[in-house]
Amino acid sequence: MFWLQQIFNGITQGSIYALMAIGYSIILGIIGLVTFVHGEVIMIGAFAGFFMVTFLKANFFLAVLAGFAASWLLGIIIERVCYRPFRSGPREIALIATIGLSILLRSLSQVTFGTEQKLMPDLLNSHFIPLGQIRITNIQLLIIFTVFILALLLHQFFYKTKTGIALRAVSMNKQAAALLGVHVNRTILLGNALGCALGGVSGVLLGIYYNSVHPVMGASVAMKAFTATVFGGIGSIPGAALGGILLGIFENLGVAIFSSGYRDIISFSILILILLIRPQGILGRKELER
C-alpha cells in the first residue's frame, strides 16, 4: 500500500512535470532551439499566482489564470528579445540571449521578491479523501484534473482549429508553411507564448502542491522539464506528457527509497541513464544525430 501511495503521489507530481514538458516541447518545436529561460518563466508564473492569492484573495482558478497570463506576456517578451532579432543569425546567439535573459530575470526577481521562500496560503482547505487504502488530498485530485483538462483542450486546439494546424505546420517546416499562407512570425510568437503560458500554469500548480514559491526554483524545474522531454522523446508532445508522468513516478519511488534531499539527484540520474541507454526517448520519432 505504501508503494501504491507513492505511485499516486508520483502521478500527481508527474502531471505537473508533464505540463511543463508539453510547454517545453511546443517551444522546442516552434523555435527549433532549446530555451534556458523556461525555468524563470515557470517561476514568474508561480509568483503571479502567489501574488494573486495573497493580495487579491483570489481562488484557485483565478490563480491559475494569473499564472497563465503572466507567463503568456513573458513569452511574448522573450520572443521579441531573444528570438526574433536573431532568427537569421547563427543559432548560438539566440541561445546565449536566453541565458542572459534567464540570469537577468532570476536575479531581478531575487532583488524584488526577496531571496527567502514564500509560503503559499492553503486556498482549498486541503483534506484527505480516503480511497481504499491510499489517501488522496483534494489538491492532488484538482491538479490532476486541471492538467487533464488542459491536455484535452490542447489536443483539440492542435488538431481542430486553424491556428493549431498552423502551429504544427510551422514547427514542421517554416518555409513551406509561409508558402501556404501561414503568417509565420505571428504563429511563432503565439507558439512561444502558449508554451510559456503552460509553464506558468505548471508553476502555479507546483506552488500550490508544495505550498511554497521562491525565486530560484526555476533551475531545478527547468531541468525536470528537460528531463521529461528527453524521456518521452524530443519532438513528440504525447511523449512529453508520458515522460513527465513517468519521471514523477520514478522520482517519488526514488525518494521513498532514499531521502527527499536526493529528489533532484534522482531525476538527474534518470536523465543520464536515458541518454546512455535510449537517447531518442520512449516515443522519439527520428533517430538523433550521433
Partner 1 sequence: MASFKQKLVYFLSAIALLMFPWFIQNDYWLRVAIMIGLYIILASSLNLINGYTGQFNIGHAGFYCIGAYTAAILATRYHFSFWLLLPLSGIVAALFSILIGLATLRLKGIYFSMTTLGFSEIIRLTVLNWASLTRGPMGIPGIPLPELFGFHLASNRHFYYIVLALTGIMLFLSKRVISSRIGRAWIAIREDEDAARAMGVETFRYKLYNLIFGTFWAGVAGCFYAFFTSFISADSFTLDEGFSILAMVLVGGQGNLIGPVIGAASLTILPEIFRNMAQLRLVIFGAAILIMIYLRPQGLAGSSILSQKYHYPKIQRHSPPKHQGQQEVSP
Whole-number Å distance between alpha carbons of 132 and 129: 10
| Pair 259, 34: CB distance under 8 Å | no
Name the residue among 194, 205, 265, 196 with its Cα closest to residue 40: 196
Q: Would you count residue 238 as binding partner 1 (CB under 8 A)?
A: no
Cα-flanking dihedrals φ and ψ of residue 71, to 5°? -75, -30
Fill in the per-residue mask, 173 to 202: x = in contact with partner 1 (CB under 8 A), - = not in contact: xxx--x-----xx--x--------------
Pick the stretch among 63-71, 118-126, 152-160, 168-176 that binds partner 1 (CB under 8 A).
168-176
The least distance separating partner 1 from the CB of residue 36, rounded to whole angstroms, comes to 8
The least distance separating partner 1 from the CB of residue 188, rounded to whole angstroms, comes to 8
Q: Would you count residue 168 as binding partner 1 (CB under 8 A)?
A: no
C-alpha cell recorded at residue 181: 499562407
The least distance separating partner 1 from the CB of residue 223, rounded to whole angstroms, comes to 5
Among residues 5, 54, 84, 211, which is the contact residue for partner 1, using CB under 8 A? 84
Pick the stretch among 45-53, 129-137, 140-148, 222-230 that binds partner 1 (CB under 8 A).
222-230
Whole-number Å distance between alpha carbons of 226 and 224: 5
The least distance separating partner 1 from the CB of residue 145, rounded to whole angstroms, comes to 31
Q: Would you count residue 96 as binding partner 1 (CB under 8 A)?
A: yes
Pick the stretch among 13-21, 70-78, 145-153, 267-275 that binds partner 1 (CB under 8 A).
267-275
Is the Cα dihedral 214, 51, 38, 265 positive or negative? Answer: positive
Fill in the per-residue mask, 15 to 54: x = in contact with partner 1 (CB under 8 A), - = not in contact: -------------xx--xxx-x------------------
Q: Would you count residue 85 as binding partner 1 (CB under 8 A)?
A: yes
Judged by beta carbon, residue 59 or residue 110, the one nearer partner 1 is 110
Q: Would you count residue 90 as binding partner 1 (CB under 8 A)?
A: yes
Is the Cα dihedral 156, 241, 127, 203 positive or negative? Answer: negative
Name the residue among 191, 218, 196 with its Cα closest to residue 109: 218
Pick the stretch among 4-12, 13-21, 66-74, 214-222 that binds partner 1 (CB under 8 A).
214-222
Pick the stretch among 11-19, 48-56, 88-96, 119-127 that binds partner 1 (CB under 8 A).
88-96
Binding residues among 101-130 for partner 1 as defined by CB under 8 A: 101-108, 110-111
| Pair 30, 196: CB distance under 8 Å | no
Instruction: List residues binding partner 1 (CB under 8 A).
Output: 28-29, 32-34, 36, 81, 84-93, 95-97, 99-108, 110-111, 171-175, 178, 184-185, 188, 216, 219-220, 223, 226-227, 230, 234-235, 259, 261-262, 264-265, 268, 271-272, 275-276, 279, 288-290
